[in-house]
Chain A
Amino acid sequence: MDRRQFLTSLSAGALASSFDSIAWAQAAPANDYKALVCIFLYGGNDGNNMIIPAENSAYGAYASVRTAASGLNIAQADLLKFKTGNMTESLGFNPAMKGLHSIAQAGKLAVLGNVGTMVAPTTKAEYLAYKNRPDNLFSHNDQQNQWQAAMSEEASRIGWGGRLADAIAPMNGAATFPVTTSVAGSTLYIAGDAQAALTIPATGAFTLSGYGTSTAQQTRLAALKQLLALGKDHALVKSAGDQIAQAISLADTVNPIITSAASPVVPLFTTAGNSLATQLLQVAKLIEARATIGLKRQIFFVSIGGFDTHTNQIATQGDLLADVGDAMKSFYDATVALGVANNVTSFTLSDFGRTFKPAAGGNPGSDHAWGSHHLVMGGAVNGGLYGRMPVHQLGGPDDVSNEGRWLPSLSVDQYAATLASWFGVPAAQLASVAPNIGKFSTRNLGFLT
């Protein structure tokens, strides 16, 4: 990337002051490596039943709404309790998340209490007066996009992972490998202005089939590649041709890495049928091959769906959270085995939280809401609670409705900015990643060292 391109990429961040950035945007030292792994929980995970207050008084407030009779209660005795770092009261994991419990107890997991999409710091009174409302709250696709873009007004065509990749591109020096990789299909999070993302399959390789060594086949392959460079005066032809060409050119590098059965991390992922674990294994293999790939900074995206639990929530979410916990535990163990636990930070995002009040159905569930709890895991994490748990009261101070839709205590912008700071983006440049961070006084939530 030349300087002009670099300035262009930063200008996409709207508020970035490009000239100051030259100073920090040097190639990273030789032994420096950091990776961010975004774990998206599609459908809107019910944080209320993922992280539950464990102490008697706070649990009592929880259980006064999510009563045993409601069909949406997690029993206090079943909670996997932990109290680390800055926490003054114990919290409890959903009992399905055994894998994460030990990591939390070891202080390598931070809970972000009630984080959500925000336009600016907002009070309940302001919300009720239609001030500072994110666009289309409670809508799946809009809120997914806002979490992934760190922008809550108007649509963004790029995500904050992509913006972060653009911003730190100079740290990767001359490496040409894509900074962002998705193992979960195309997604807004990794779309940037300057950086084309790589998307790899969750299992197996992406190999162009039908080509042996015969002259006819090789001539056909050459023709295929040449055809992809033609007709670029039509924008869709260009986009499609560029995409296929990129895939063909990267396949030779990536396929041997992601199909490696000899990798020492393979035995750590013994979670058959867990699609998130399968994806994280691919990420671990790519991290293992970081010297081959040659990047100092990498951003990964994985996902698991099915969290839209309008009905039958206890069983459905329990299964999903077990997958999440087991997969994250395997992945953490893999980073330890690779000696990069302190260099890799994983974090969850999701559409939104869910109503604290149960919703009707054969077995009840919950409806779309706003703020929710999220998890950050890694050797660089300062375990504890950041932000705060909401007051578990329908129509209470944190509820913008009567069904328990929490006004967030932290914004996605602050969440993204903290991760970007750890990645190496200076405070003055954070707006190139989270364009509205200037609206929030705390720009580093402190959950990473």
Chain B
Amino acid sequence: MLTRWIFVLLGALTISTRAAAADPSLTVVEYFNTALNHYFVTADPGEQAGVDKGAAGAGWVRTGLKFSAYQNGESASAKSVCRFYSRSQNSHFYTADAGECEFVKKDSGWQYEGLVFAINVPNSAQNCAAGTQPVFRVYNNGFGKAVGSNHRFMPDLTVAQKQAKNGQAFEGTVFCAPLSNTAKRADAVRLLKQASFGPTPAEIDAVTTQGAAAWITAQLSAPVSRYSQRQWVIAAVPATCVDDTTQPLRAESYCRRDNYTRFVPQVEFWKQALTGGDQLRQRVAWAWAQFFVISGTEISHAYGMLDYQQMLRDNALGDFGTLLRKVTLHGAMGSYLDMANNQKADPVRGITPNENFAREILQLFSIGTNELNLDGTPKLDGNGRTIPTYDSQEIIGFAAALTGWTFPTIPGRTAATGFNTRNWAGEMESRDQYHDLKSKELLDGEKTSIGQNAQVDLDVALKAVVNHRNVPPFVSRYMIQKLVTGEPSPAYVERVAKVFLNNGAGVRGDLRAVVNAILIDAEARGPEKYDSTYGQLNEPVLHVSQMARALSAKTDGQFFQSQANALGQIVFDAPTVFNYYPPEHVIASNKINSPEFAIFNSNTSITRANSANTILMGNATIAATTTMFQSTGTQFDWTPYTALAANTDALLDKVAEIVQGTPFTAQAKTVMKTAIDALPATDANNRAKTAMYLAFATPLAQIKR
């Protein structure tokens, strides 16, 4: 329901045509003066116009940061904000606390200037209510110095914390700025980019209505999508197992492709990622698939990959220790990193226990190579050097502790007394005759007792790993990087790591709580972000999935399976256990930690633009294929965009909302308009396609921020 409000405000006429009933009517605009090194905010449009024209003196420029507020009396729950001016400090101060206001009024150094706007305030735990965003106060510690005392009031925690690191004081949340409906939609878009495979028009509405917290809570409990289960197959393709193209197809027509390649897991991944209801779980599972990596280049048979990926999905939001145990014991991982059929030293053949899994469970799956602070930064020794978490003897120790495991017994067969035949589905089984009984060195000097069997040693070894102090920051930082931003502030990592340590009910490693903490954090939420390094380049899979979901794709998955291969991120086919790209990748030119740039280069930047061309400039319907049983093809819904296509501004605003949440800049709009207006106003399809293509072929859509 649209309501038309007209406010006459300090001589300026503000007309808000699309605002919902509760929309705040004021925008608090922030200014900075380079000469003074001071910040200033004002909600008064007349004053803003004056400051813009230099009426407040030279040097005041808008920072771009802003937040909403009410007029006094506009909202029953909002508090009026007192503004003060200090001539000696040449600085303004604002407070919504009536007591503080009265206190400052008594200070002769500060001149009371009146109640300038109204705004909500945080509760005693410094939290803001749903529908508002925190405004933080940073103090420059300038009293008695040449710069003078100055407080900054602003809505971006990342920026605030960076400023605080430079010798300023972070003073916490002082206001809770009401969000307009447009701002809520912008935050909904950001959330859907972080926590799903991309915003759909319908999901933006749903998140805006429910609010971020409620949507996340519902997602955490959504029913789990399921990959199909396939039977174990013998390693070598039998001569009878061929791809039979005879129409009509039967479920088993493509015997070779469907059993001996990654086709089925990839097709199901795309179908479910684009259309599944458990978006958050699937997104987190995809992050785990790039953390606990097995690659289809070796685990090439569908039954094993499907079983492993379902296991990741089932445990994606559970207990970290359980997840790590299931990864460790899975037959596919056992095969990929050689824990299966690993055995104690053999003096006759001169063979020593294989170190492959032992090394990677420590380096990649849990603690990393260097000691970490809780905020994810490396601990340093007296010489400023990083401190290794383990040395060779620990690797040798874990390798020996994890000997004596073999593949899961193939269903319907009898377990071998020795090593089982290779089987990539299910949990491995112990064979104590191959287990090393010596005492093994684990972490921090811990040693296993002599003579423990394979199961006991595994329990002891996993416990040592899971309880290591590095796990909370290591895992938390990784998941923040995957979902939100490539270079999270140490404070953000620490807030999440603390939830990893304790979910509030005394439980460590509760991934549901960890994911929730990542997504509700003030560094994740908010309608606009201002830090120039915030965010990430969409990984190729998300680049494709966001296009598909922007068009509410209905699909059997086959089209996307065939499209995604050119982008340098073939689903479930990472080149090595080190994934498609490393979390620590730094862009050489600007030193920013931004993992996805590790696979973004002259070649792949073009293939990404070309995937936008294929998906967005192509047909709205991709016919069912004759090469897949029960294929339904792919259908895109362009109507939200074509409906507006005759009006270039309206079209661009609609496209801007789904790709970045906020309108395109005036410059970008002008450029895009030339391309769209080169097409007749009646050509709705191509106008909509052109707008969407230009967004997805460029950083407009590819950079999430």
How many angstroms between the C-alpha atoms of A193 and B587 in the bound complex?
Answer: 11
* Residue A13 is within 8 A (CB to CB) of chain B in the complex: no
Beta-carbon contacts under 8 Å, A167-199 to B: 182, 185-186, 191-193, 196-199
Q: Once the chains bind, are B346 and A360 in contact (CB under 8 Å)? A: yes
The 8 A CB mask of B380-400 against A (1 = contact, 0 = none) is 000001101000100100000
Residue numbers in A under 8 Å from B590 (CB-CB)? 235, 238-239
* Residue A129 is within 8 A (CB to CB) of chain B in the complex: no
Q: Which of B337, B385, B535, B703 has the most CB of A within 10 A?
A: B703
Q: Once the chains bind, are B674 and A361 in contact (CB under 8 Å)? A: no
Q: Once the chains bind, are A358 and B352 in contact (CB under 8 Å)? A: yes
Query: Which among B73-81, B190-198, B519-527, B592-600 touches the partner chain?
Result: B592-600
* Residue B247 is within 8 A (CB to CB) of chain A in the complex: no
* Residue B57 is within 8 A (CB to CB) of chain A in the complex: no
* Residue B125 is within 8 A (CB to CB) of chain A in the complex: no
* Residue B610 is within 8 A (CB to CB) of chain A in the complex: yes
Q: Once the chains bind, are A231 and B699 in contact (CB under 8 Å)? A: yes
Beta-carbon contacts under 8 Å, B335-356 to A: 337-338, 341-346, 348-356
Q: Once the chains bind, are A206 and B607 in contact (CB under 8 Å)? A: yes
Beta-carbon contacts under 8 Å, B577-635 to A: 578, 582, 584, 586-592, 594, 597-607, 609-610, 613-614, 617
Q: Once the chains bind, are B532 and A360 in contact (CB under 8 Å)? A: no
* Residue B537 is within 8 A (CB to CB) of chain A in the complex: yes
* Residue A337 is within 8 A (CB to CB) of chain B in the complex: no
Q: Once the chains bind, are A220 and B678 in contact (CB under 8 Å)? A: yes
Residue numbers in B under 8 Å from A405 (CB-CB)? 392
* Residue B675 is within 8 A (CB to CB) of chain A in the complex: yes
Q: Once the chains bind, are A227 and B349 in contact (CB under 8 Å)? A: no
Q: Once the chains bind, are B617 and A157 in contact (CB under 8 Å)? A: no
CB distance from A128 to the nearest CB of B (A): 11
* Residue B363 is within 8 A (CB to CB) of chain A in the complex: yes
Residue numbers in B under 8 Å from A141 (CB-CB)? 578, 582, 584
Residue numbers in A under 8 Å from B663 (CB-CB)? none
* Residue A30 is within 8 A (CB to CB) of chain B in the complex: no
Q: Once the chains bind, are B533 and A192 in contact (CB under 8 Å)? A: no
The 8 A CB mask of B640-657 against A (1 = contact, 0 = none) is 000000000000000000
Q: What number of residue pairs across chains A and B have CB atoms under 8 A from each other?
A: 244
Query: Which one of A69, A197, A236, A248 lies within 8 Å of B606 (CB-CB)?
Result: A248
Closest Cβ neighbor of B369 among chain A residues: A136
CB distance from B617 to the nearest CB of A (A): 5
How many angstroms between the C-alpha atoms of A310 and B533 in the bound complex?
Answer: 40
The 8 A CB mask of A396-432 against B (1 = contact, 0 = none) is 0000010101000000000000000000000000000
Given A310-B355, A359-B353, A360-B343, A186:B698 Cβ within 8 A: no
How many angstroms between the C-alpha atoms of A226 and B674 in the bound complex?
Answer: 11
Q: Once the chains bind, are B675 and A210 in contact (CB under 8 Å)? A: no
Q: Once the chains bind, are A243 and B602 in contact (CB under 8 Å)? A: yes
* Residue A230 is within 8 A (CB to CB) of chain B in the complex: yes
* Residue B686 is within 8 A (CB to CB) of chain A in the complex: yes
Q: Once the chains bind, are B369 and A310 in contact (CB under 8 Å)? A: no
Given A228-B698, A236-B537, A135:B386 Cβ within 8 A: yes
Beta-carbon contacts under 8 Å, B43-77 to A: none
Query: Which one of A222, A251, A305 lies within 8 Å of B575 (CB-CB)?
Result: A305
How many angstroms between the C-alpha atoms of A185 and B613 in the bound complex?
Answer: 22
Q: Once the chains bind, are B671 and A227 in contact (CB under 8 Å)? A: yes
Closest Cβ neighbor of B388 among chain A residues: A136
Query: Which one of B370, B386, B679 lies within 8 Å of A216 (CB-CB)?
Result: B679
Query: Which one of A42, A216, A244 lies within 8 Å of B678 (CB-CB)?
Result: A216
CB distance from A11 to the nearest CB of B (A): 15
* Residue B700 is within 8 A (CB to CB) of chain A in the complex: yes
Residue numbers in A under 8 Å from B671 (CB-CB)? 223, 226-227, 230
Closest Cβ neighbor of A244 among chain B residues: B605
Beta-carbon contacts under 8 Å, A204-222 to B: 206-210, 215-216, 219-220, 222
The 8 A CB mask of A41-57 against B (1 = contact, 0 = none) is 01100000000000000
* Residue B694 is within 8 A (CB to CB) of chain A in the complex: yes
Q: Once the chains bind, are B705 and A234 in contact (CB under 8 Å)? A: yes
Residue numbers in A under 8 Å from B604 (CB-CB)? 185, 199
CB distance from A412 to the nearest CB of B (A): 19
Q: Once the chains bind, are A227 and B672 in contact (CB under 8 Å)? A: yes
* Residue A110 is within 8 A (CB to CB) of chain B in the complex: no
Given A71-B349, A216-B686, A236-B594, A138:B606 Cβ within 8 A: no
Beta-carbon contacts under 8 Å, A89-140 to B: 135-136, 138-140
How many angstroms between the C-alpha atoms of A66 and B403 in the bound complex?
Answer: 22
CB distance from B187 to the nearest CB of A (A): 18
How many angstroms between the C-alpha atoms of A311 and B582 in the bound complex?
Answer: 24
How many angstroms between the C-alpha atoms of A147 and B533 in the bound complex?
Answer: 29
Given A186-B598, A206-B607, A223-B675, A192:B588 Cβ within 8 A: yes
Q: Once the chains bind, are B341 and A362 in contact (CB under 8 Å)? A: yes
Query: Which one of A67, A231, A235 lies within 8 Å of B668 (CB-CB)?
Result: A231
Query: Which one of B355, B600, B607 lies within 8 Å of A359 (CB-CB)?
Result: B355
Can you list 18 A-B pairs with a CB-CB distance of less than 8 A?
A70-B350, A141-B584, A155-B586, A186-B599, A192-B588, A199-B603, A209-B613, A231-B699, A235-B590, A235-B592, A236-B533, A236-B594, A236-B703, A239-B594, A244-B609, A244-B698, A246-B602, A310-B338
Given A223-B672, A310-B354, 9 more pairs with CB closer than 8 A: A136-B369, A157-B587, A185-B599, A223-B675, A227-B700, A237-B699, A240-B597, A360-B343, A367-B359
